[in-house]
Structure 1
């Protein structure tokens, strides 16, 4: 990105934002900030795309594993995930450079971070640039950045590297959200909403970026959940611009963030358990996770729906983080949703796998395509679930009617 272009806009940015505020402020009463809206969305992925039917052979070949029992189990898991394609940073070239990654008991956290930190940043930059291009305004008009990742560890954090790489102003407000897991994208959306609504004229860049490098295990070292991860998880990044009071003829909002709630389920801390060790991140996933979500999801959704006096689940559109097909199936059954209601979530899972915090934004991108035709539902829910067990939900309104 050209630094000349960035510098030419930085000096005018404050005046530009002041002019936005002045045109939307009423002299007769304190200004009431408008609702936050999603103004643009961008995605990015590593270059390596793996069809699911090719994953097992390549995985075992590259790691030189010949355990037929593990291979058969992974083949079954791959078929059950409904995933068709995934992107991944991990490659044969990386394994050749770091053979210790396939050696059981080797302390490899240093090597994993050498791979993950730059890979996550590269994807974050690419997704952010794609988002800013769609937004159509100068990068210097970004006032805040919210950065979400469970895939890197360093000080300073990825938020500063991202801000510097994009050429953002040095006084840009930065928030860093690390190690939240699958609900992190919706948490970032909630935080960006709060920033936008409490800072009139602000424009918030929300960027998420994830890779499976920290949790990677070759077949001979894999525990049961590692095999599930090998069959389900992918890599990628996403970015959104959030702001209130969109500028006519310049910005194109497509979704209003109406009301947001986070809730944890007491006594469920150990159902999704992740620990950082010298060998990377180790995960344990309780078999009762889908049931816990099913038992609590209806009351959580109704709490959000009450804010707009909504009663019927099938009168909404649904953007749900696809943690796996079992969770989507339980949600569909529990709420008696029509078969097409979770289609965007199933499509994202099929095309990208579970990419942790990013995946909800791939779902929202597909939802945007559906809503563009008009005539669809006005109100919807954006939902994600993760460690805690934590529920994140946002009541949203389509602006594409």
Structure 2
């Protein structure tokens, strides 16, 4: 059985497998083919992969001769394939047309962002491993963009007040952002629609902003859910009070398959002081402000709004290491002890992240959209 690792598009610096993951696969008798240069932006060259037991080939050779192709993002050549197994993070709820096309071609695809969020799936949870990095880098990016200190300083020249950081969303990215901002000495407030995260927020030394009457999000896999109009009104009022005092805002709120909720209105932006910074991690799905643009920095009335949903790619070595470990753990479910493909459809994790198989879209949530 052969696994092929493809080089990602120019805007992506990560790679599906580092050499250490290749070593683990070759020990199981799996042949690993690497597209030449696939790991360079993660600081691993072809020679490193050869030492780990991989075979270096051209992109076309890898695509044609591999049983399983791993690529983080959808790739153009998939449009001409058939009877291949593809594994990556394909955002099928936003790429329904692509999934339908893959189904027609007879491709079996697994999208790891659709794994059920269960205890057993934690070792394969690419959303969490990558969001952890994004939350960390969001705060560092904010600190680098902000024109003032984060910590309090008392000097002979005068005292500097600590930065006030507001974090909207206390998922994995939000919690790491809290911890990083606190380590840098900021005063942190946090808003989340899920009351259950209050204890975690407070344990990290941040203040939790509570708004009563939120819709139950316990079955949303760690994501936000749509709220009632009454709740949204009270939510915006509380956020407006905090945002007017904030120097830094980190926004992370997303709803699977839908546009990100606008939590910061233009009126709120106007209330922020000039030089304030917003890092919008939800930029790829529209952003949590009405003026966010993905992969761009917008200056709105003196406020810097940085839209970036791929901050994990700014730490490609560790991001690739963690992603590769997640992927390796998933592969254990579909590769037997002899190193052969064994798609066990009775396994809830295998079935839960399979998007296309046997000529059709098989994932219920993707089917519901199409």
Indicate whether the TM-score tops 0.5: no
From the two aligned structures, give the one with the greater helix fraction: 1
More strand per residue = 1
Q: Could you tell me the TM-score, scaled by structure 2's length?
A: 0.31
TM-score, normalised by the number of residues in structure 1: 0.29
